[in-house]
A and B are shown apart, each in its own frame.
Chain A
């Protein structure tokens, strides 16, 4: 058995991990084989998740019992009108906001059940979740490489290792030629690809993307979706993409509609975009 322990693997999580080992095709030269969880455990499993903001008369029930499940390597769309609770759901899944009740299991590991379960939300975000936002939100005082290396550096990896990994990711996302550039020198599409590279840096099993293609034209929007699909396939990453974007909705094989704080599952067109 050959495996490598990544620093992002939490202890109790790691123990469940080596039941089965998977060797993924690897576009990055020199990267080791990637071990991950039991194939059968969904990357994300949400049951009856509720979130109430505030209390009393001004309370807002943003999530009213959400059920959702995403398999490793799957890219699902999350679609709903404004104010329907999309961002709230992502915040809860990403351990940014604490839900009010319900359950969240990540890779078979219950992290929330009426309260965070033996986890540090900050470490969970750092090690197990990648975030992509509508705006790239890159750190303007770091160059492209260091922006991508940042999650690894925050996790305690050496500068050399982190930058090496960042360069590989930049190459995979076709922005290697911009590695030394300042953020302000990049086009919107390049910035978004760098942001995706940053989300992938720690090889998180989950990526949460909130309207990642909103500022992009259709060409670039499709390019981003293509990249996300490729990453999902290659790393078995589970990806949830919140979107309004008519251009990319047909690409999802599975879609969750969210309306008034509840989710409704639907099969998507799953159009092949290469």
Chain B
């Protein structure tokens, strides 16, 4: 898919909360042997005063700081998440108000499991690319929920990123094209009154993550007439360190192309935020002319693929807001499993 007029990322910002829980602390609480192989070493957890809205606000402010846009020029604020603080009441209006984009702005929360953030990116691209708006903000942010004791508890993490799309003249990275691939696949779901999602076990992996990521990625490469070696960097949805590496290898991307964006290795799976955070890590490092390949995945299921190329403006704008590395280095270890349960409100105050 291509836009009517050329569009780019005019600003980006990220957020990762400081608290971290060691995977061994979780394993010990559930009586697992200390030799158990764990998917990640530790994961990020929101502080008691943080949620998807507060994290999205900080990422959005970072995106504006790196851009030339004033807040009142932002014509849309879309928040993709599966951890809205309110069941009924948009998160996006609070974010829009906090950054000063209200009242002449479109706003909505988008839902599509871990693909909600990249869906917001597609939509923001179209809003700017059609000429309806000069700037539109797409956010993917999650404070992921996991059932205590479930294996997802080791990886369900918190964080994400915000991308301000704008005209090509303002771009830190240009969008060369995008592609979406979606089918009805029952791999992961949560009903209205359940606190935690369920897996459709026989649908995880091959028919879901791999199929959709491969199809969307190959579809975009084909449409643009490109091959993996045309890209300096590539980022995929990263529910764990293994899936992303396997899918990258299958497409023909090497470890050197994906390693700097493997944020999952450091903080776990940030769901709607995961692929967007990985992309930000590459924008933190890219030189003008570097091509970046991006493909998300969300259960349900679908993938959005983007091809981007960094511009000469990127390096000058980079230091206007904290980098992914700044947030990765800011760590506050959580002392024990009890403190973790209290912070994540798994213990409910009656």
Chain A bound to chain B: no
